[in-house]
Amino acid sequence: MDPKAKSKKVKIDVDYLAQLSKLKLSDKEKQRLEKHLTSTLDFVANIQSFNFKDLDSVNIELVSNCMFKDGQVNPLNFDKKKLFKNARSFINNYFEVDRIL
Amino acid sequence: MSELLGFGVLQLKRLITAKKISAKEVFNYFLERIKKYDRQINGYVTVCNNNDGKLPIAVKDNFCTNGIRTTASSKVLDNFVPNYNAEVVDRLLTNGFSIIGKTNMDAWAHGSSTETSDYGATKNPWNLSHIPGGSSGGSAAVVSSYLAPAAIGSETAGSIRQPAGWCGVIGFKPTYGRVSRFGLIAMASSFDCPGPITLNTEDSAYLLSILAGKDNKDATTIDKPAEDYLSKLSDREPLTIGIPEEYFNEVQKETIDGFEKTKQVFKKLGYKFKKIKLISPEYAISVYTIIQRAEVASNLARFDGIRFGNNKSYFGFEAKKRIMLGNFVLSAGYYSAFYQQAQKLRDKIKADFVKVFHDVDLILAPVVPTTALKLGEFEKYPFFGELIDKFNEPAAIAGLPAVSFPTGLDKNNLPTSLQLIGNYLQELKLLQTLYAFEQETKFFNVIKSGFKKWK
Amino acid sequence: MEIEINNKTYRLVLGFEIHLELATKSKMFCRCPADWFGQKPNTLVCPICLGFPGCLPYPNEKAIEFTYKIALALNCKINSEFYFDRKHYFYPDLPKGYQITQWNRPIGYSGYLNLLSGKKIRITRVHLEEDTGKLIHRQGKTLVDYNRAGVPLVEIVTEPDFDNLEDAKEFLENLQLIFRKIRVSTANMEKGSMRLEPNMSLAEVKPDSSIDLPDYKVELKNINSFRFAKKAVEYEIKRQVELIKQGKLPDQETRGYNEDKGITVSQRKKEEALDYRYFPEPDIPVIRINKQDLAKIKAQIPELPIDLAKRLIKTYSLSKEKAVILAKKSNLAKLFETVLKRLKSSPAVKQKTAEKIANILINSRVKLNDPDEIIKLYTESIKPASYDKTKLATAVKQVIANNAQAATDYKRGKESAIMYLVGQCMRILKGQAPANKIKELLIKELNQAK
């Protein structure tokens, strides 16, 4: 199976993706991004033609027991007072953002 | 105090225990070297001058450090000072280390060159017009030029092994889940592994023994305690090493030379070799790229500038690219063809390794197709990192442990490297094998020549 | 509920999405206290629930146990192996930019709850997720409090099986009782630990009396009491009827209930809903519950109110109203059954006995705990009352003499007058004779005097 086999073309909607990603992009950026994204996508789209039929999927599970008992003390050491120092705007115990309508 | 030059962590510890030198003096020694040389190398984003009499260690700038600025080399976090430590950092501090500095990286770990850092590129100490690799380029460079006796890096797919290879030092990637990711700024959650970058094997073993183990803050950590890697280092059993011949096809000539030399040494040491067939690494590129981008897009959603950091307008071009592609492969209509399909194939790649490890104990493979590229060369490739890391992606996809080590120098005096890949939780076997190799060859004096350049 | 519009019959199609805050001590994915209501803002937070860089979720075992309990109580099919998914959207009350929830593999699915009438309400799914923070809008700013962010939330979705509000009320009240009885939540709507989102539409009734689900449904939000739920749905029905009357199909949308104005207002149209890009949460492995643990949880579920009420009705021929009241408080029902077992009445008097005991329990002003005490009260109440016949005769004669008007009224046919006279007798006798005997004698005397 040729890993570089091309499958059907996929169209990128840069404006929609920018909206989903909440990124504000200039027109120049949009053009550049479309070019880069399309070429990356062209390459990875070949994934649709892989199947490796002769290999059974294997599920490696090394983790067991990953829940905490209710009411436990927080194992994370952190300075509660410094928790808000990185905030853009923290007034009267609230984080402030521009008004959401 | 140039007699200290090249002393690893444990070697320094022994000196301190023997009262030949104090930890404070050691710390100062490195601060002086950083002051002298880091302007040329740019391995550090932040240098910590608080010498509290402990052994210094460098930590990649995507590990949160309490009270010390943590940027992930991105202007989004330019002024972010965490009030908590990454688990890895906590363990280092508990074991008598002090952070001497936060090392430079590709912004958000998005890359294999360290050129995408918002704080300038790091230069390869072997040749300052070349890149050190990435994304743990800063960590590899500071160890290679002895601006720290060891460093902690992180790997998603190649980010420890590749820069270690290009900088001529040892880079260890543990089994996924062996070391806690808590406090490591997430790049791709199902791949990220913290790991040590060192000048010798015993330091790797020592640091791994400190860092490995279950963490009740990271649900993906393995429920097994760390093994006593250090005391068992010189134990050895006869092992079989698999060679995936296909991997060596499009690789620089000097890497092949290094491979031949290495093979001879292992033969001499009593290791057996076997030809193995693995899925072509070309497939791994697509599988990795898709899943990684999806997880990246998701993990960067929290950087909205409300509780910390600057808003999304501060993201660099590479980050924006990855976020958009990530959201694309997760979006309705494309999710099953891309993301789900990639995950199915991921299980198959795991199965491929499981099959092979029935016949061999370890796998010997190249780390990178070439030695360190020049600054600016990666611009040519739209997803440069993934192509250059194709030998590292399969083990990363499967979550297997691996270690890269120097095998020689090419005609431009740049280090060549190889890697050993082990089965799940076989870190000890990897370390024992590497140790034997080191005892026999001293890595062909590559590591020594490296820090000697920065006398 | 059926409505005539333009000579066609329409039926209400109503379902619910219920969010229940679990009564755990800690939050869902970190060890912060979960008891956020009434706390000073941003005091029950840590780097993890604030979504700081590098922080990872670690699941709360009790929250998972409670969710299984709820799913079992609602007769759901169980996924013994489950995982979480990430649901992506941007909003300031969502710290990570995604919510950890369950999309693909919910803990419970395809359940049901039967109403007293026997009608089956289907439960589509029961899943576990984390709550968001809270926003306050003030002047030109929006203020964010993350105390509630990360609190464990169970989402229960019903099929649109309701066609009237009475059934919905019974269902929701029962749900609340169940949650409280199995102790997974305070299920308090005013405090926000139980939230309702009705979804509804009007469907044309076909000749065979069935309906097809219409092409739209309206989701109602911002409802924090059963009363407002009723009002909101009633308003919506009116609004939709108007549109249908005009030949328009109501829009598929989310509408918020405004309790001051008593109306619903459009919030966002469903077509514009952003893609949530669900994918399995990589930071939390697949979690499994074994058969033994599941059985242990099931064993903890007591008889649920509706089932208990049904059983009381069937076994003791108790009236529906009394059965429902007793079923609401499990200790009352337990006392009831203990007392009846002790009395070992013959089946013939069983119903009357049952009704009497139920009455005693329900109407007692004092809290009753002791079965013996109840039996004593019961025995007292059925005793043929002993009284002084002479004193009664005297009292009756005296009352008739002193209340000529009332006596005359009664003779003239005013039935209510007799009760007045009875009351007067009782005052004199100070409760020493039973009312029915007083009445008997009064009537006899009055009739004789005719």
Q: How confident is the model at residue A10 (pLDDT cuts 50, 70, 90)?
A: confident
Kindly identify which residue of chain C lies nearest to residue A69, measuring between CA atoms: C61
Q: What is the pLDDT of residue B381?
A: 65
Q: What is the pLDDT of residue C436?
A: 81
Instruction: For residue B308, give how far its alpha carbon lies from the nearest alpha carbon of chain A (Å).
Output: 5
Q: What is the pLDDT of residue C89?
A: 94
pLDDT over 90 (residue C411): no
Inter-chain contacts counted by CB atoms under 8 A, chains A and C:
95
* Cβ–Cβ under 8 Å, residues B3 and B200: no
* Cβ–Cβ under 8 Å, residues C131 and C153: yes
Q: Residues B138, B17, B86, CA angle at the centre, nearest 5°?
A: 40
Structure-token pair, residue C254: 């989310």
* DSSP H or E run through B37: helix B23-41
Tell me the per-residue pLDDT of B293-336, one tens digit each, with 9 for 90 and over: 999 999 999 999 999 999 999 999 999 999 999 999 999 999 99
Query: What is the domain-level CATH number for residue A14?
Result: 1.10.20
Q: Which of A61, A73, A99 sits opposite C31 (nearest CB)?
A: A73
Chains that touch A (3 or more CB pairs under 8 A): B, C
Instruction: For residue B314, give how far its alpha carbon lies from the nearest alpha carbon of chain C (Å).
Output: 16
* pLDDT (mean) for C323-330: 85
Which DSSP category does C95 fall into? T
Amino acid C371 reads P
- Among B368, B157, B419, B162, which residue's Cα sits nearest to residue B251? B368
- Among B129, B130, B169, B174, which residue's Cα sits nearest to residue B147? B169
Task: Give CA–CA dist B259/B368, Å, rounded.
Answer: 12
Q: What is the pLDDT of residue C385?
A: 60
Q: What is the pLDDT of residue C369?
A: 81
- Print pLDDT tens along chain B (455 aa): 558 999 999 999 999 999 999 999 999 999 999 999 999 999 999 999 989 999 999 999 999 999 999 999 999 999 999 999 999 999 999 999 999 999 999 999 999 999 999 999 999 999 999 999 999 999 999 999 999 999 999 999 999 999 999 999 999 999 999 999 999 999 999 999 999 999 999 999 999 999 999 999 999 999 999 999 999 999 988 899 999 998 998 899 999 999 999 999 999 999 999 999 999 888 899 999 999 999 999 999 999 999 999 999 999 999 999 999 999 999 999 999 999 999 999 999 999 999 999 999 999 999 999 999 999 988 776 567 788 899 999 999 999 999 999 999 999 999 999 999 999 999 999 999 999 999 999 999 999 999 999 99
pLDDT over 70 (residue C349): no
Does A66 contact B328 at a Cβ distance shorter than 8 Å? no
Q: Residues C15, C16, C19, CA angle at the centre, nearest 5°?
A: 170
Note every long-range contact of B76-79, with CB atoms under 8 Å and residues 24 or more positions apart, other chains counting: B76/B303, B76/B305, B76/B309, B76/B310, B76/B311, B76/B312, B76/B314, B76/B315, B77/B303, B77/B308, B77/B309, B77/B310, B77/C53, B78/B118, B78/B309, B78/B310, B78/B314, B79/A86, B79/B309, B79/B310
Task: Give CA–CA dist B264/B268, Å, rounded.
Answer: 6
ipTM of the complex: 0.96
* pLDDT (mean) for C401-421: 86
Mean pLDDT is lowest, of B8-17, C159-168, C291-300, C428-437, for C428-437
Which positions ≥6 away from A9 have C-beta within 8 Å?
A: A42, A45
Structure-token pair, residue B432: 């024992």
* Cβ–Cβ under 8 Å, residues B195 and B155: yes
Q: How far apart are the first and last CA of chain C?
A: 56
Residue C32: alpha-carbon gap to chain centroid: 30
Task: Give CA–CA dist C278/C89, Å, rounded.
Answer: 10
Residue C176: strand, helix, or coil? helix
Task: Give CA–CA dist B421/B174, Å, rounded.
Answer: 10
DSSP of B211-234? HBS--TT-TTS-SSPPP-TTTTTT
CA distances from A50 to A7, B427, C140 (A): 11, 31, 54
pLDDT over 80 (residue C209): yes
Do the domain assignments include residue A16?
yes
Q: How confident is the model at residue C34 (pLDDT cuts 50, 70, 90)?
A: very high
Counting runs of H as helices and runs of E as strands, what totals does chain A give?
2, 2
Do the domain assignments include residue A20?
yes
Domains of chain B, start order? 2-452 (3.90.1300.10)
Q: How confident is the model at residue C434 (pLDDT cuts 50, 70, 90)?
A: confident
Which positions ≥6 away from C364 have C-beta within 8 Å?
A: none
User: Tokens 């040329």 appear where?
Assistant: B40
> What number of other Cβ atoms are within 10 A of residue C1's Cβ?
15
Which positions ≥6 away from B387 have C-beta within 8 Å?
A: B285, B381
Q: What is the pLDDT of residue C439?
A: 87
Residue A56: alpha-carbon gap to chain centroid: 29
* pLDDT (mean) for A75-88: 93
* Cβ–Cβ under 8 Å, residues B114 and B133: yes
* Cβ–Cβ under 8 Å, residues C346 and C386: no
* Cβ–Cβ under 8 Å, residues B323 and A23: yes
* pLDDT (mean) for C109-133: 95
Q: What is the pLDDT of residue C139?
A: 83
Do the domain assignments include residue A84?
no
Q: Taking CB atoms and an 8 Å cutoff, what residues of chain C touch B77?
A: 53
CA distances from C387 to B331, C424, C428, C433, C437 (A): 86, 17, 13, 5, 9
Q: How confident is the model at residue C182 (pLDDT cuts 50, 70, 90)?
A: very high
pLDDT over 70 (residue C351): no
Do the domain assignments include residue A98?
no
pLDDT over 80 (residue A5): no
DSSP of B228-286? -TTTTTT-----EEEEEGGGGTT--HHHHHHHHHHHHHHHHTT-EEEEE----HHHHHH
Which DSSP category does B127 fall into? B
- Among C450, C402, C441, C448, which residue's Cα sits nearest to residue C422? C441
pLDDT over 90 (residue C138): no
* CB-based burial label for C129 (10 Å; 0-12, 13-18, 19+): buried
- Among C30, C62, C58, which residue's Cα sits nearest to residue C148? C30
DSSP of B398-416? HT--EEEEEEEE-TTS-EE
* pLDDT (mean) for A27-33: 94
Q: Which of B84, B347, B352 sits opposite A78 (nearest CB)?
A: B84
* pLDDT (mean) for A22-37: 93
- Strand bridging mode C218-221 / C253-258: parallel
Do the domain assignments include residue A59?
no
B301 touches chain C (CB under 8 A): yes
B220 touches chain C (CB under 8 A): yes
Residue B47: strand, helix, or coil? strand
Do the domain assignments include residue A78?
no
- Among B62, B78, B148, which residue's Cα sits nearest to residue B119? B78
Q: Structurally, how many domains does chain A consist of?
A: 1
Task: Give CA–CA dist C175/C161, Å, rounded.
Answer: 15
In chain A, which among 10-49 make CB contacts under 8 A with chain B? 10, 12, 14, 17-18, 20-25, 29, 32-33, 36-37, 39-41, 43-48
Tell me the per-residue pLDDT of C229-260, one tens digit each, with 9 for 90 and over: 999 999 999 999 999 999 999 988 899 999 88
Kindly identify which residue of chain A lies nearest to residue C50, measuring between CA atoms: A83
Q: Which residues of A78-97 are buried (b: 16+ CB within 10 A; e: fewer)?
A: beeeebbebbeebeeebbbb
Q: Does a cis peptide bond (omega within 30 degrees of 0) precede residue B180?
A: no
Do the domain assignments include residue A64?
no
Q: What is the pLDDT of residue A1?
A: 41
Phi-psi region of C384 (alpha: psi -120 to 50; beta: other; left: phi over 0): beta
Q: Which residues of B are catalytic?
A: 60, 135, 159
Q: Taking CB atoms and an 8 Å cutoff, what residues of chain C touch A70?
A: 24-26, 60-63
Counting runs of H as helices and runs of E as strands, what totals does chain B give?
14, 11
Q: Taking CB atoms and an 8 Å cutoff, what residues of chain A touch B84?
A: 76-79
pLDDT > 90 in chain B, percent:
93
Task: Give CA–CA dist C307/C305, Å, rounded.
Answer: 5
Q: What is the pLDDT of residue B80?
A: 97
What residues are paired with C83 via a beta bridge?
none
pLDDT over 60 (residue C272): no
pLDDT over 80 (residue C350): no
Do the domain assignments include residue A61?
no
Which positions ≥6 away from C368 have C-beta within 8 Å?
A: C335, C360, C361, C374
Mean pLDDT (chain C, rounded): 90
Q: Show the domain range for A11.
A: 1-52
Q: How confident is the model at residue A101 (pLDDT cuts 50, 70, 90)?
A: low
pLDDT over 80 (residue C279): yes
Q: What are phi and psi of B352, to 5 degrees?
A: -60, -45
- Strand bridging mode B402-409 / C120-130: unpaired
User: Tokens 């060859």 appear where?
Assistant: B441
